[in-house]
Amino acid sequence: MRILAAMSGGVDSAVAAARAVEDGHDVVGVHLALSRAGGTLRTGSRGCCTIEDALDARRAADLLGIPFYVWDFSERFREDVIADFVSEYQAGRTPNPCMRCNEKIKFAALLERAIELGFDAVCTGHYATLIDTPAGLELHRAADNAKDQSYVLGVLTAEQLAHTYFPLGTTPSKAVVRAEAADRGLTVAQKPDSHDICFIPDGDTRGWLAEKVGTETGDIVDRAGSVVGSHEGAHAFTVGQRRGLKLGVPAADGKPRFVLEVRPVSNTVVVGPKEALAIREIAGARFSWAGAAPTAQEFDCHVQIRAHSEPVTARASVSTDGVTVIPDEPLDGVAPGQTAVLYIGTRVLGQFTIDRTVSAVPVDV
């Protein structure tokens, strides 16, 4: 195949490209420039898509003997990922920028350009597997559960999966990838993995948002509506948050309180006991299937609401209004805006953006 290898500058994408070359494919490397800030630098494991990352990707491509290009996707990234991130917080939701980047950039904008240029597939260093079945191509978890990234790939459609290539999916561990990189002479063999949000490398999401949307004083209230504190911007709070609330009125039982809800229209933050974070039902109107859609309107599955959370057994139902999931055990600290990915066994069935939750605890608790 003619393969376009997306090379981030990290060890995973470098080894993925190397395996694609070794498998006999015609490979071209590309690094995505997602920021126009010329001075963007990497600090240890913080930040990605930086100048250093581009240079690391180029060195890997040179070692592999493949052509290498840098493509400027900064405008698309700003519109589809950063602007979406800000607007979601302003709406009182908790977005996942990695999901949006996969959905809008790596497997939409990049894949579209790759197909236009005559490539058969885009290769990435994601840990996930593709299985070809009589019913069509299926997306499954990686062999290494600790590194499995199928959750953040849950937004991919059947058409996109047909043009993807994940060489690392069957690798037993990240240690094997690093050892292979060292054996191949790749300088990124021991490079730290990137963490945090790539466009907020210092990790200060609250400060970054304050610069983008400003501050506006509002009330922090309990579940009964009584004012127990104040804040300088509801966008700075997320469901499940405990620290930094600075409440002026202690709870009657003396226990800590947590953010239960963010109401952007009234600029109000609702807090309550930890028990009230338990959610018995989630639903969303925006959904997609990673391969063949389910044949039944109701089915048993597992639901996962964070990249590294444990999947929970559940019952899902699909209608023209969207997807509703009732877990067998309440979910903890779910926020609108998060992505729920549905699995049957190791297979990724599909995903939806959570826009409605139902608490498992009555309001008077």
- State the catalytic residues: 101, 198
Strand partners, 288: 351
Q: The tokens of 359 are what?
A: 């608490």
Q: What is the dihedral of CA 303, 304, 305, 308, to 10 degrees?
A: 170
Distance CA 52, CA 30 (A): 15
Largest CA distance in the chain: 68
| Cβ-contact 184, 176 below 8 angstroms | no
Task: Determine the Cα–Cα distance for residues 301 and 294; give it in Å rounded to an integer.
Answer: 11
Contact criterion met (CB below 8 Å) for 15 and 180? yes
Q: Calculate Rg over the CA atoms of the chain.
A: 22
Element (H, E) at 115: helix 110-116
Strand-strand pairing, 298-304 and 227-231:
unpaired
3-state secondary structure of 123: strand
